[in-house]
Structure formats: C-alpha cells, structure tokens
Structure 1
Amino acid sequence: MHQSLAFTTLALVSAASTLNVPRQSSNSSGYSVKTPPLTTPWTYTAGTDPWPEYPRPQLSRSQWQSLNGIWTYQNASSLDSVNSPPFSQTLGNSVLIPSCIESGLSGIQGTNALYSWFATTFDVPSSFTNDRILLNFGAVDYEATVFVNGQNATFHRGGYFAFTVDITDYLHVNDTNELLVFVHDPTDSDSYVFPIGKQTLHPSHIFYTPCSGIWQSVWIESAPSNYITDLYIAGTADGQVNATVSSSGNSTSQVKIEIVDRNSSTSIATHTGTVNTPFTFSVPSVSPWSPDSPTLYNITVSLGDDEVGSYTGFRTVSRGIINGIQRPLLNGEFIFPFGTLDQGFWPDGIYTPPNREAMVYDLQTLKKLGFNMLRKHIKVETALFYQACDELGLLVFQDMPALRPLQTETFDNCSVATILPDDDQQAEFARQLDLLIVQQRPFTSIFSWIVYNEGWGQITSYYPEFGLTDRVKQLDPTRLVDSTTGWYDHGAGDYSDNHHYANPQCGSPFYSIQSTPYDPTRIGIQGEFGGIGNNVSIEHLWSVQAAIDTINQTYEIDTTLEAWNYRGHRLLGELLDQVAIWSCSGGIWTQTTDVEGEVNGLMTYDRRILRPDVAQWQSDISHLYSAATSRTNASTALPSFSGYSVLSPTPYPSEYPESTPSWSPNGFEYSATPPAPFMSTTSETSGASPSAYSTSSSTSPSPYSSLTASTASPPASATSPNGYSTPAASASNASARTTSANEYSTPTAIDYSASPPSGYGYHSTWA
C-alpha cells in the first residue's frame, strides 16, 4: 500500500467543514480495471470510490455528496440519439467515473466514441437543509446533455471546463433520482475545429490517445435560494484585495469576507461589500506568496444564508526593466521561472490521474529537483491540481488547449489536413479562452497565460492573438500573457518566446526558423528546449507497437543514463550562459514524464524510473537562479570575451571555451559516474534500486524526506490486453533485458505541508 500524503494545509481551505455525505453504495458488479498498455504504482489502488476529495477548493460548501463511482455506459448510434434517451434502462457496461473511456481505469478501454450515454442514480441526503440542489461536473469531453429524472436539465460545450446546474425542480426528494448524460466527442471529425490539445484518434509520437466522457468529478451540493455562484478574490503582495462575489439572483445584498491566518486560525481581516459588484479592501501585514514561501490564507464568504470557503495567496505579478532588460517580476523582484513542459497524461487514466496521491507525486518530484514552475501544456487540470501548486509553491504557465495543429498529419489510412477555424469556430475558441481565465484565475500559482502553442489553430491571414491578448488582460490584469509560445510571433503579449530543442536560444542575438529574433521590448524566455530521450526496457514503455515505432522520432536518444545526464547538464549549461551573458529570463524543459511514444521525460511514463542525477540537477538549476540574481545587481561585472559586448549582434565568439566558464560557480563540472540508485540502461544490477527514486539523505534538501522505495505489486499477469501487441524487445525498440520485481516500487510521498527548501527560485533568498 502507498503511504497517504500529508494534506494538512489542504484540509484548511474552507472555514466551513466540507464533509462528504456518504453516497448509497454504487453497484460495482461488472466493473474491473482493464489492464492498460502500461501501469503505474497507483493503477490498482484507485478503487471504486475515486477522488473523494471536495473537487472545488476555491468555492467549497459544507453540504455536498460525491457522485463519483461506478456508473453504467453504452455507445450511441448518432447525434440524433440525444432525442431518444434510454430512460430507466440498464446500460450495457459498468464504468468508473471520473475516467476517460479509452483508459484502463474506466473499465472500458474502448476506442474513442463519438456518441455515448452515461447513467447513475442517487438519493438526496436528508441532511441537505437548504432550498436548492446544485449538480456539478468538473469536466466532460466534449459536449454534454444532462437529463435528471427524464427532463433535459442543461447542455454544456467544452471538454476542459466545469459547469453547474440547479436541478431542484427536477428532483424526487424522497425517492431515488436518475441521472443520464449524453456525450458527443467529435475528436478528428471532419469540419470540427475546437480546443482539443494533443488528443487524436491516430496517436503518433507527440499526439496521444484521446479522452472521451466524464473525466473529472461529479457532485451535488445544497445551497439557499440566493447563493454564491462565483468567487474571485485576488490579493497583492502589499495586502490589497480585489474581490467580486457573484450570486444566483440580481441581488444587491451585502456580502461578508473574512481572511484567516492558516497557522494561527486567527481572523486578520473582515470586510463587507456588495454582491455582483467589484470592491477592494486591505489586509494588514500579510506574508507574500512565493515559490520559497507559499503562504496561503483561508477565506470565508457569507451571503445571507449561504457560506462558502476559499483561500488565496498575496502576490503581485508584473514585468519591469532591470539593468536595461525586460524581466518577469514577482512581488516587485525579478524571478527566473524555470520548469517543465507538463502534459498531464497517464498510461492508466489518460487525462485522469489514478488519484490525488499520484497527481501530486509528479509535482513533488519537480519541486525536489529544484524547479519553481511548470507549463501546463494544452490541457486544463482538475482544480485540485492547481491547489497543490498553490500549496507547494510551483508557478504555473497555463496553456489554452490548442486547436488542430497547423501542419498536415498523414497516417496509414487518413490525412488530418491543415484546418484553421472559421469565424464561428474562432468565436468558440475565444469563448472557451474566457472560461479558462475565469475558472482558473483564482489560483495563486498561475503566473502567465499562454494563448497559442506553435501556431496550432492560429489564423495567419490576420493576427487574432492581439485581440485575444487584450481580452485576457481585461479578464485578468494580474498576470502576464504569452500570446504565441514558439512560432508565428507578431509582437503580441509580454514574452518573446523561443522554441529550440538542440540548444536554447533564450533572449539571445541568434535564433532559428520558425522562431523569430529576440524582441528586447518583451521578456525573453525559452518556451521549450531539452527533449533529450533515453529508451528503456519494454516494462516501462507504452506497449502499443505504433507508439514504440515512433520512439526514433525523438530529437535525441541517449543510450545510457550517464549520457542522458551529461547531455542535460550541457544543455542547462548553455541556458546558464544565456542567463549570465544575454537576456534570458526563464526556461521550460521538455518534459515531466514520457508520454506514449515519447521517451524524453524526467520520469518514465509509468513513474517508476527517475532519470535525473538528483544532486546534479539541483545544482545546475540552482546555478540558473544564482546567475539570474547576479543580473539584478548593476555593479556585477559581466564576462567579456575579446572586446565582445553583451547584446552585440556579432557572432558567438570562437574563442569562448567549451569547458565550464571561469565565472560559473565552483563544483559545476559533471561527475562522469551516475549515482548508484539510478537504473542503467545498459545492464541490470540486482542490488540497485531500479525504481531510481532512492536518494541519500545528503542529497535531499530539507525538509523533503528521501525518496525511498516502497513495495507495490505489479500487475497479476504480464499478458497484454486484447488489442495491444507487445513487441519483442529489440535494439530498435527497447533494451532486451528482464525487469526485476522491485522495479514495481513507488516512492514514499514527500510531506509538502512543511516549508520548502530555501534557495529555490525566489530572488530574495537566492544564495
């Protein structure tokens, strides 16, 4: 069994207790996990009562009941099926909710279904004493039509966003209620251009298995007749609060906000404003939020008989000129955001992690390595993900889920042509961008919004990114905007963002097509780089032949972990040069984990192998922060090479040494021998810890515990599920070696309720 995480602070987000009323036992008959092409240590621990946590920590209510669990499911024949709902019928299959039906965790593991039905029943708890019953969905991909007791309750479009419907008038209060959901998911369908991210019916290397259905939590809650529908509270580093509390009615009632210190549970401020009208107030002597000190404050909001819990951090995001260079600022000081491209895919759950422990483990690993940021790549996560980032102190660059890629993709039996949105589709993209901003802006950790990724779905006959950027700034003036990360940059937004994998080109006077030259009027950032790969044995690969066949499309394959760590060290060293010499203000390493046919993650897709030499990566990343700090001091002498000046357009000097420059910190040289805990890709050593997570206490920065392995059982059978061929290991796909049993180990969870180590990414405490 996995040790449970310490969520001490997470439990305090609501001043009111959010006790989940136990649901009547759902019928798990017929449900079982379908063995996926690759498991994780959490695959068989998800259970039939998944994600029991309250799903919306920024607006929590005390009277609620989860509807997660075993539902029933069946395909539908066409879009017209929505007009003939199967009321009071037993659907053909049992399915776990939340899940993607393509996943093993769902119990279905089917192919993408254009049309499908999901059904469950529930009773309204007698403890629900308020007037109205609200039904909430975290996310359904892509269109959902919801029926309650045979009546059409609502329709929602958008696969990444939450929605709520008042179902009071449809309920049988003293009887069992039927909930039926029709889902239409037009992934790759002709003429459909909509926010889809990397989902495709034809996975190939950087495009992955799609997710259909109810993939985030479902719950009901009780509220009074005039209830709070939305809550936006933004606190600045000096204690200024901008608040808007929206209600279900056209009310001008008074609303009360109370701010509570988490550590002492002491009320530190109370203010009364008018509902549905923005208002401001000040909170004295707050501790600003930062990656090194992620201080959060609990909030209670009262409107008549309605009371909800929330939380916030006080921080200010801005940009400014420091020593003549545009820089991102946190709380008025230059911060160097450095993180990973975080895809959010899971081999057992696709879009849905097996549980919160698994989800948070990825974040803990990034924090331990020294990253202070992640880029959530063309996917929107559950609210609990952003809550964990708030708690851990991880900045988030949040992508808008992309439309179809600009380039044509050709497959064996079809070609996904270059499709750009028409006027209606562009308007829908803009509407869903609004949803992204409004729903995620309460989370303190979000630092920047990203509108377009590498031109995917970006209209080129005119430049829509300018208008979209203005819209984002109107909805959320408290963050920076990266309008076009990578390519097709026409000057919109706050960042001059370069993508180049072979070597970084960050805020530098050199660039490669399709990126554009560094624009010194904006912040120079390396939006993607790295991407170096390291192939592993078949036990750690997504065992679908089509995916394995694309591994050789990886930008670079390093045959040993020693080589992989060496190359990572050199690339981080190049970025360090550009921080110290040029105008580099941040970077994003590709990527957190392997995904299907990609083997370029810090971790394998199953989260069982951690590739980095932890101490070396911690050191290299710390040097990036130190170099950035040195650029904030006007008296700091920058290195000069043969009369060559900073930001000069002259070519990179040939006399610049290949070895570590003299101005870099001591101890920067890479040790040729990887640490013992790391699995070698060239040989198997039974005495090693193949999980690659065990580190000595001397390399674990306090207060993080060492990532020691604990036993988890492998799947009962090594037989591949039907429909998936397991290739024989060969030099062309995976190392031909067996896997020792203890590779199926999982790390002990890090207790992140304590303060994070100092020196990880906030200017005032850099060494």
Structure 2
Amino acid sequence: MLNRKLIVIICCSLLIQTSFTTHTAAQSQPATIKTRWAKNVTPDNVLPEYPRPQLSRSAWTSLNGTWQYAILPKAQAQPAAFAGDILVPYPVESALSGVQKTVGKDSVLWYKRTFNIPSSYKNKQVILHFGAVDWQTDVYINGQHAGTHKGGYDPFSFNITPLLKKRGAQEITIKVWDPTDQGPQPRGKQVTNPQGIWYTPVTGIWQTVWLEPVAATYIASLKPTPDIDNKTLSLQARVENLQPGDQVKIKARDGDQTVAEETLQNATAAATLNIPSPKLWSPSSPFLYDLSVAVVRKGKVIDEVKSYFAMRKISMEPDEKGVQRMLLNNKFVFQYGPLDQGWWPDGLYTAPTDEALKFDIEKTKAMGFNMIRKHVKVEPARWYYYCDQLGMLVWQDMPSGDLGNGWENRPGVLGRATDKDRTAESEQIYRTEWKAIMDALYPFPSIVVWVPFNEAWGQFKTEEITKWTEDYDPSRLVNSASGGNFYPVGHMIDLHSYPDPAMPRADLFGKQQALVLGEFGGLGLPLEGHTWQQKDNWGYRSFKNADDLFKVYSRYCERMKDLIKAGLSAAVYTQTTDVEMEVNGLMTYDREVIKVPVEKLKAVHDDMMK
C-alpha cells in the first residue's frame, strides 16, 4: 500500500498545474519579492569575496559587475551592437541581473566587457576562471577564440595569456547557449514553462568570473583524503608544467603549530602526512587544519597555495540487529536535514551576496539539523566552505536532466521505474559533468554522500553509474537512486514518502544497504507578502497557521524516533525555504520569516536525535 501511495504522490507532484506570472523584460521591472540583501548589490559591489577557498592565492581580480549583453538568434554572428547592461554573475532571467529576459533554445546570450591587466601580472600566466556558466560557453579574448566549455555546474578556466594585448584595455566576449529542458544536458529544476515543482530557467553566467596570475609552473588542484583509523592524510597535488627536479612541499598546521610536513621529490606522487592525535571533524566539532602547498625549484618557491582539510570518516556497518547503519567517525550519528534547493527570488541560482549564501546554512544549523541535501544543484565553492566551517554534513545530488522515464507498478518492488534509454550524446554529457562536479567538490570534507540520480529523473544504467561513482571516490558513500528506481547497488536504499515519514523495510533491505528517508514532509504555509505569486501556491499538505503546522511536524519527529530505533540512518525534510510556487519551506522564499521559531525546531530535533 505504501509503495502505491509513494508512486501516486510522485507522479502527481510532476503533474501539478499552477498559474505562473511571467517576468517582464524591462530593466525597471522588480522581482515579485526580494531578499534583504538585494539592496546591498551595486555594480561596484557584486560578490567581491574570493571564490575558491580550497585553493587560495592572494593575487586575483574579479570581473563581476557591469557587462553588456545581447540576445540573438542562434545562427546569427556576434552582435554589432549590444542591447544594454547586465550585472554579472546574476542570470539573465533574474531581477538582480537588471534584464529579466528569457533566452530559450533557439537563441544565444552574448556578453562583452573590457578589462585591464594589473601591472603586477607582468611575466605571469593569466588564467580566466568561471565558477559556473549554464550551459555551452564560447569565450573570445580580443576577438580570438579562447575555448569552449559544456556544463552548467562545474568550474572551468582558460589560460588567456597568448591572446592578451601588450598594453591597453582587453576585450572579452562570451557566447552562451542553453536549451533548458529542451536538451539532454543536466539542468536540475529549470523548465521553459515553470509550474508546480519546476522553476524559472537560468541561462549564462551565474557564478563569479575572475582573473588569476600564476607562474608558468603552478598548482592546479589538491585532492586531500583523510584516514582517521591510520591517523594520516593523503594529498595529491596536480601541478601544471612541472620541470625535472621540482619539489612539492606540504605543511599542515593546527593554528600556529605545525603538525606535519612532507617534501615530495617526485612531485607527481601522493604525499602521506602523519597527523598525530587527530582532531576529528563533526557537526558538533567542525575542526579544520590549515594546509600550505608549494612548488620549489632549486630552493626557490615557484608557486604556493593555501588550503585546509579535515580528519573525518564516513562509513557504514551493521548494528547489533544486523541492520546497516551510516557511521561518522566510526560512530552512528543520525543524519537529519532539509532538502535545500538553493534558489533565490532575486538571483534565482545566484545568492545576492555572500552573507545571504551563508545565511541559509547558519539558520539550518541553528534549527538543530546536522545535514543538508543539496538538491539537483551545485553551489559555489564558498557554500561548501561554510558547511565545512560550521559543521554541516552534505549530501550532494547530481543535477538531473534528460527526463522522461516511466514509473512502473511492479508488484513487490519498491518504487521501481524504467531506466532512461539515453542517447550516446546524452550519456557522455552526464558522465563528463558528473566527473567534473566530483573533481571540483572532492576537497570539501562536509560532503559525505554522492547522489547520482533523483526519483528516476533521467536515470540510466544505474548499476554502472553507481559502481563508477563508488570506485571514483571510495572515501564517501553513494546513494544511487534517491526515491526511485531501486537496484541492489550503492550504500543505501532511499525512500521518498509524502507527507508522513516512513522507511524501507529493514527485514528486506537493511542487511545490505543503509535505510534512509530521502524526502518527506512538504508542509505548506503561504504567508501574505512573502510569496512568489498571489495565489495557487502549494505544499504537499497545506496549513493556515504556523502553530498547526508545528503540531503535525512535531508528530512526525516523534514518529521518527521509532524509525531510528528500527534502523533508519538518515532523513531529509522538504524543505529549507519556499521556492517560487512551492510554499513548503521552513523559511519564506525571501528569507524574511522563519515559519516556526528556531528554538522550537531545535528543541524537537535535539529530543529526536538524542
């Protein structure tokens, strides 16, 4: 009975029809609602924070701010003239961009601006970085093609040094094509016609654009892997243009105290640092070690970066009843957190400010949650940095795309659906971007679970993709299919149940996989003056006041105690904030109202998880 109910609820959620007020294109058109941080956004103050905390250098230049834009038919050449200004990196469809226009699959979005190279960059290689651009990006510097990138959620860069003029202003032009839900690429919850659980498209630049001067030989990435059982940290540094005899020097610190040092004579090898009496990272004690890595040539430092790492372990083992349990640092910790979509009424995919980006995590922590499921979206690096700092476990979804699977009602099978028969192109797009996302996010210790698929949305070759994910990163757990199309692969079996909490049967599944409730709840409460639209808002269950909502939520938490005793390892409540038509958030979409006081939520969560 539960299986049929689950399937009906999921199918209905995909079909819910609500009205939607389309944004007008005029620059002066305000967002339906805005956050308090929007007023702090000016062309001279656009996300000025350093964008890559896990690999930092002191010298860099932000290219956020005012650019020119044009929207042209896909087949048309570069524009001779541009339509007006756009504020980068806010998506062109967002209010904060100053544009609020839709692009669509038959058009392309062009950007242009000029910039100057600081004199301190002389004799350096200049790297042009993009945090994320959705979806296909072509970059031109002074009229010459610098490179192409396909992928809406992974960072990428180009060495533009050979394309720069010796003096004067440099010109950058960018062409972006994004078919949204009319192409096979990952796109999360973006659709051409927003309704129900599907939201406004996001096209073009949506994370920081920046320049970085580096030496000809420079550190491109770091891959830290902690081992708390052996009290070691393995560190792999990828160095571009290594020369014979180059050394890599690594130093780990606890505050001012050096706890480990290593010099690699073979700079391509992995270092193993012994970490004595390691301080373990957890939500209750999110301790981070500082890390410095330098390339040294004949005693001279050629390049150096600052970073950090944590000593923590995620694993699973059977309990005394033989039921698999998710463990943190070799101890069972019930993981409980909200489904976090990461959308903003004024910036869509892009938080208006860094303070706003951190706010959601801080409030989630204050509510007594210890985990966040980042739902079919990838955030800027600074979001994960704050999760590392504040002590928040993260389940990271792969953004879904190429949907169209059909649910099947197979007797005796939990939430089974057909795998998607993707084209070779679609498969390759998925594989390439999933690998790039995992590579980019690997250094963040807060991430403990990878989620390749959600509710059979574009799910294909489940066993193969899951096995690849497990092999590519054996340091984390893999939730192969959250809420649908279950196979006996991956570390957990994940049920979605709305609105009441439930769990997969321990006697059928618990011996091989950890049991988790990947989504439940969805208790809706629209608050006048804080909704995306005036009517036809919805939740999985609707309430007229916060007191009645909290009574039901408290009952769910009481029910959860029994589920935890029965073998449940984790649960995810829908959701952190309202999003567009959905009003089932713990906070309103504009973050102005926390519907249930933080203290009441923390008290009921502490009682549930004690």
Question: 2:472 corresponds to which letter in structure 1?
Answer: L
Other-structure match for 1:39? 34
d(CA) in 2 for partners of 1:470 and 1:408?
A: 23
Other-structure match for 2:147? 154
Q: Is the 8 A contact 1:593 1:607 kept in 2?
A: yes
Other-structure match for 1:484? 481
Deviations 1:135-155 (A, max 9, x none): 000000001000001100010
1:268 is displaced (CA, Å) by 2.0
d(CA) in 2 for partners of 1:492 and 1:109?
A: 43
| Comparing 195-204 and 611-620, the one that deviates more | 611-620
d(CA) in 2 for partners of 1:502 and 1:593?
A: 17
Other-structure match for 1:426? 427
Q: Partner of 1:294: helix, strand, or coil? A: coil
d(CA) in 1 for partners of 2:598 and 2:199?
A: 29
1:260 is displaced (CA, Å) by 1.7
Structure-2 change in CA distance of 1:33 and 1:302 (3 Å): farther
Residue 620 of structure 1 pairs with residue 604 of structure 2: yes
Other-structure match for 1:243? 235
Question: 2:573 corresponds to which letter in structure 1?
Answer: W
Other-structure match for 1:206? 197
Residue 441 of structure 1 pairs with residue 445 of structure 2: no
1:380 is displaced (CA, Å) by 0.3
Other-structure match for 1:601? 585
d(CA) in 1 for partners of 2:420 and 2:336?
A: 33
Residue 541 of structure 1 pairs with residue 526 of structure 2: no
Other-structure match for 2:8? none
1:453-602 correspondence to structure 2 within 5 Å = 453-459=454-460, 464-508=461-505, 518-537=509-528, 539-543=529-533, 548-549=535-536, 551-552=537-538, 554-580=539-565, 582-602=566-586
Deviations 1:484-519 (A, max 9, x none): 011110111001111001322224469xxxxxx644
d(CA) in 1 for partners of 2:509 and 2:348?
A: 36
Question: 1:392 corresponds to which letter in structure 2?
Answer: L
TM-score (norm 2): 0.89
Deviations 1:407-466 (A, max 9, x none): 689xxxxxxxx975212211221111111111101001001000100000013xxxx122
Question: 2:173 corresponds to which letter in structure 1?
Answer: L
1:587 is displaced (CA, Å) by 0.5
d(CA) in 1 for partners of 2:50 and 2:27?
A: 25
Other-structure match for 1:270? 261
Deviations 1:296-325 (A, max 9, x none): 111111113111111111111111122122
Within the candidate set 327, 348, 351, 1:350 is matched to 348
Deviations 1:471-496 (A, max 9, x none): 22222111000000111101110011
Q: Partner of 2:452: helix, strand, or coil? A: strand
Deviations 1:194-234 (A, max 9, x none): 11100001101100001111000000011111111121112
Q: Is the 8 A contact 1:34 1:106 kept in 2?
A: no
d(CA) in 2 for partners of 1:289 and 1:509?
A: 30
d(CA) in 2 for partners of 1:608 and 1:408?
A: 39
Q: Is the 8 A contact 2:132 2:154 kept in 1?
A: yes
Residue 75 of structure 1 pairs with residue 71 of structure 2: yes
Q: Is the 8 A contact 2:420 2:458 kept in 1?
A: yes
Question: 1:50 corresponds to which letter in structure 2?
Answer: V
d(CA) in 1 for partners of 2:464 and 2:87?
A: 41
Other-structure match for 1:100? 91
Other-structure match for 1:337? 335
Q: Is the 8 A contact 2:260 2:273 kept in 1?
A: no
Question: 1:197 corresponds to which letter in structure 2?
Answer: G
Other-structure match for 1:637? none
Other-structure match for 1:135? 128
d(CA) in 2 for partners of 1:135 and 1:234?
A: 28
Larger Rg: 1
Q: Partner of 1:76: helix, strand, or coil? A: strand
Question: 1:421 corresponds to which letter in structure 2?
Answer: R
Other-structure match for 1:635? none
d(CA) in 2 for partners of 1:236 and 1:168?
A: 40
Other-structure match for 1:380? 378
Q: Partner of 1:188: helix, strand, or coil? A: helix
Other-structure match for 1:320? 317
Q: Partner of 1:473: helix, strand, or coil? A: helix
1:92 is displaced (CA, Å) by 1.7
Q: Partner of 1:347: helix, strand, or coil? A: coil
Deviations 1:369-410 (A, max 9, x none): 10000000000000000000000000000000001433689x
Within the candidate set 270, 289, 295, 1:297 is matched to 289
Q: Partner of 1:127: helix, strand, or coil? A: helix
d(CA) in 1 for partners of 2:227 and 2:420?
A: 42
Question: 1:295 corresponds to which letter in structure 2?
Answer: F
Q: Is the 8 A contact 1:506 1:575 kept in 2?
A: no
Q: Is the 8 A contact 1:379 1:401 kept in 2?
A: yes
Question: 2:531 corresponds to which letter in structure 1?
Answer: L
Q: Is the 8 A contact 2:405 2:459 kept in 1?
A: no
Where structure 2 has 5 or more consecutive residues not aligned to the other structure, the ranges are 1-25, 297-301, 408-418
Deviations 1:115-134 (A, max 9, x none): 11001111110112452110
d(CA) in 1 for partners of 2:601 and 2:187?
A: 33
Other-structure match for 2:56? 60
Q: Is the 8 A contact 2:66 2:85 kept in 1?
A: yes
> RMSD of the TM alignment (CA)?
1.9
1:633-652 correspondence to structure 2 within 5 Å = none
1:618 is displaced (CA, Å) by 1.4
1:531 is displaced (CA, Å) by 0.6
Q: Is the 8 A contact 1:260 1:298 kept in 2?
A: yes
1:739-750 correspondence to structure 2 within 5 Å = none
Q: Which structure shows the higher strand fraction?
A: 2
Deviations 1:75-118 (A, max 9, x none): 1211x33xx334xx552210111111100000001123431100
Q: Partner of 1:619: helix, strand, or coil? A: helix
Structure-2 change in CA distance of 1:254 and 1:509 (3 Å): closer
Residue 115 of structure 1 pairs with residue 108 of structure 2: yes
1:156 is displaced (CA, Å) by 0.2
Q: Partner of 1:427: helix, strand, or coil? A: helix
1:244 is displaced (CA, Å) by 1.0
1:574 is displaced (CA, Å) by 1.2
Question: 1:587 corresponds to which letter in structure 2?
Answer: A
Question: 1:162 corresponds to which letter in structure 2?
Answer: P
d(CA) in 2 for partners of 1:571 and 1:518?
A: 23
d(CA) in 1 for partners of 2:140 and 2:311?
A: 41
Q: Partner of 1:56: helix, strand, or coil? A: coil
